[in-house]
Structure 1
Amino acid sequence: MAVAAAVHHRGYLTSKFRSSSPPSPPKIAAEIRGNTTPPPPISISTNPAHVNLRHLRELYAICNHSCHRFPTVDAAGRVEPVDPAKLHTAVSHSSVVVSAFTKPEFVTTQSSTPSNFIGVGGDWISRVAAPVTPENGRLIGFGRAVSDMGFTASIHDVMVHPALQGRGIGQMIVQRITRMLTSRDIYDIAALCNDDERLFFRECGFGYDVLGSTTMTYTRSASKNEPMISAGRRLLLVPPARGLTK
């Protein structure tokens, strides 16, 4: 799951929505259709220090989530791995980072049976009974927001481990993000949604922009004399040299 990133319930407040769907498989629809099974014990952290980038990259891969609006997708429908250096930069420059953890024992496989509930005796019971913390838990959900910390913000990369989607964890993440932003008197919170994500964000309290705003993407075509570079997904203009007159 992933939002815009996509993932499960809840997202940004009213703002701009885009109907074009990314190539990656829908991740939010399953959360909304879902599963009324309650979530396992969850620990929610807003401390960026609790984000292990290696574990976060693994979550991106498990959720088949890309940070790019136009990701490269292979024949199997898998998006390209997230660039670790860019991910570090993105997280470090995010205004709000929310991570969700649970005990590894609660992360299921395709079935509803916890994959690690094997064996006899009470050892697994004691492990499950201990409080979940970022230190003893497994990263199973994530979301972040970028803001000018004065007026506006946007939410990105909301995702939940596929084995735990449909249990409201994505909603918890978005609620925590919006709570942190609104506590700082920031209410203009945006979500870029594809068709599969709109229901999720509506369930999270988002709606169409009352001002009728439309998101526009920079698509300027280069002239024959303007150099282009390949960005993997698209051809982009080479930034102009500094100091040129406008």
Structure 2
Amino acid sequence: MSSLFSVGSAALPPFFSQNRHRLRRSHPPISISTNPSHVDILRLRDLFASSGHSCHRFPVPSGDGLVEPTDPGKLRLAIYHSFIVISVFCRSNFLPSAGGGSNTIPEETSAAIGFQDFFERNFRAPGPDHHLIGFGRAVSDRGLTASIHDVVILPSLQKRGIGRKIVERIIRILTNKGIYDISALCSEKERMFFEACGFGKDPFDSTTMMYTRSTSIGQNGNFLLRTAGHLQLVVPPAPEL
């Protein structure tokens, strides 16, 4: 059986060549989980904030350039009703903020051998030295369609293949369940990432449309006004049961 850190016949960088035996004995720095109970809601909220990711389609403008914090109660409810939840953890001594300790893997080394090789294969639960550094989820009707949302990576660990690993895991789970109609709700700046993950233009030329009817249209009568970020949406009343 090949080693977890095997790189075939490629030449090993000096750092890795000198420390490969020590790294083999230690746990890999990155762990990926599909268990929703492993997600700490407050840490996830902080991850979104540090990455500049907003869960709101109509966010409240902020003068300091920060995104509106996600409500923990709504975030917890969203995760509970998600079909797939992927969370990624990094051991604290491998984080860039650890000050480059003896176990820290330099960026050039991780790039040379493939950062995905550092994912722990059998992950049970995050310990006190594990930090949430990546997240992604999918919602689905559990039969025909699914959509991917909120793929977020800690800025200091972006461009290491972690985001693609999250998307690949989501797609593998969905296709194993016979769900192939998979979409991704993303911003324009995220488009290139999802294209690299295999997403493209819908062959049926469909377009995602968001409900944006606001009070400026002058609706009245039985319609209700609901605040959504900086907009007031005109919403039909709920039917009486």
TM-score for the superposition, normalised by structure 2: 0.73
1:224 is matched with which residue? 220
What's the secondary structure of 2:99's corresponding residue? coil
1:199 is matched with which residue? 192
The answer to whether 1:115 aligns with 2:99 is yes
Residue 207 to residue 214, structure 1, CA distance change in 2 (3 Å): same
2:203 is matched with which residue? 210
Distance 1:193 1:56 in 2: 18
1:142 is matched with which residue? 135
% identity of equivalent residues: 53
The answer to whether 1:52 aligns with 2:40 is yes
Higher radius of gyration, 1 or 2: 2
* Unaligned 5+ runs, structure 1: 1-39, 118-123
Residue 155 to residue 241, structure 1, CA distance change in 2 (3 Å): closer
Do the aligned partners of 1:222 and 1:237 also contact (CA within 8 Å) in 2?
A: no
1:80 is matched with which residue? 68
The answer to whether 1:62 aligns with 2:62 is no
**Displacement of 1:108:** 1.5
- What is the CA deviation profile of residues 190-232 of structure 1, one whole-angstrom value per residue up to 9, with x for unaligned ones? 1123221111001001110011111122233451333423233
Distance 1:233 1:107 in 2: 36
Instruction: Pick from 147, 152, 155 the counterpart of residue 154 of structure 1.
Output: 147
What's the secondary structure of 2:96's corresponding residue? coil
More helix by share: 2
**Displacement of 1:116:** 6.1
Higher RCO (CA < 8 A, seq sep 6+): 1
Distance 2:40 2:152 in 1: 15
**Displacement of 1:73:** 2.9
Question: How many residues align structurally?
Answer: 192
1:20 is matched with which residue? none
Distance 1:193 1:58 in 2: 20
The answer to whether 1:234 aligns with 2:231 is yes
2:176 is matched with which residue? 183
What's the secondary structure of 1:189's corresponding residue? strand
Do the aligned partners of 1:222 and 1:228 also contact (CA within 8 Å) in 2?
A: no
Distance 2:152 2:57 in 1: 15
Task: Write out the 4+ residue segments of structure 1 that deviate beyond 6 Å after TM superposition.
Answer: none
* Unaligned 5+ runs, structure 2: 1-27, 105-117
Distance 2:227 2:103 in 1: 53
- What is the CA deviation profile of residues 169-205 of structure 1, one whole-angstrom value per residue up to 9, with x for unaligned ones? 0000111111111110101001123221111001001
Q: Calculate the aligned-residue CA RMSD, in Å.
A: 2.3
